């Protein structure tokens, strides 16, 4: 198994998602916080101090990263819905994972933040029209314009990708 990409690489949809596909992805996004919390409990505090692979982040860093990353994506959705193809701001994920609050803040804080954030994000997503799902934002680091359909698929993958990292700490 590839320790860096235990569920494989992300695959973005080429065109619009169907309503059924969106509903399934939104449900996965809604379920993620509870899955992360359950996995963090199973792994335990000591387990979360271990990296999921040599040179990788610790479980603690992964959980705080998910909160950081998903907050950024939520804001990107809101920008795309209120501006015409906004350019979003990239950030140095590695540098953020090394900031002192990551080591000093209990993971329960980021797990609670993810629960609230995903509740808000899912509520937004459940009310979008088909046209709104095709709104876009530009990410200068990847030099890619994402539709909201593509961003949804990417961030569902992102959550499952890091959930698999956390689950690997039980091995």
What is the pLDDT tens value at each position of the chain, 171 positions in all? 688 999 999 999 999 999 999 999 999 999 999 999 999 999 999 999 999 999 999 999 999 999 999 999 999 999 999 999 999 999 999 999 999 999 999 999 999 999 999 999 999 999 999 999 999 999 999 999 999 999 999 999 999 999 999 999 997
Residues paired with residue 51 on neighbouring β-strands, in sequence order: 58
DSSP state of 92: -
Q: How far is CA 26 from CA 55, 77, 85, 137, 155, in A?
A: 32, 14, 22, 19, 10
DSSP state of 141: T
Residue 2: its pLDDT value, please? 85
Residue 31: its pLDDT value, please? 98
CA distance 118 to 161: 17
Q: What is the pTM of this model?
A: 0.96
Residue 1: its pLDDT value, please? 61
Rounded to 5 degrees, φ, ψ at 83 are -135, 160
Which CATH entry fits the domain spanning 19-168: 3.40.109.10, 1.20.120.450, 1.10.1740.10, 3.40.50.2000? 1.20.120.450
Residue 126: its pLDDT value, please? 98
CA distance 53 to 60: 13
Q: How far is CA 133 from CA 10, 31, 93, 126, in A?
A: 19, 21, 26, 11
């Amino acid at each position: 198994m590839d320790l860096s990409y235990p569920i494989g690489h992300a695959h973005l949809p080429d065109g619009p998602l169907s309503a059924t596909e969106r509903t399934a992805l939104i449900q996965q996004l809604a379920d993620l916080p509870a899955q992360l919390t359950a996995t963090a409990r199973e792994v335990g505090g000591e387990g979360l101090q271990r990296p999921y692979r040599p040179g990788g982040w610790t479980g603690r860093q992964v959980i705080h990263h998910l909160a950081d990353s998903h907050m950024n994506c939520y804001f990107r959705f809101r920008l795309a819905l209120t501006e015409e193809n906004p350019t979003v701001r990239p950030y140095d994920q590695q540098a953020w994972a090394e900031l002192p609050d990551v080591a000093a803040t209990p993971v329960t804080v980021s797990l609670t933040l993810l629960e609230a954030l995903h509740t808000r994000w899912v509520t937004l997503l459940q009310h979008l029209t088909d046209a709104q799902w095709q709104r876009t934002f530009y990410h200068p680091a990847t030099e890619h314009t994402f539709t909201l359909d593509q961003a949804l698929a990417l961030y569902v993958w992102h959550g499952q990708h890091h959930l698999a990292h956390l689950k690997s700490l039980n091995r």
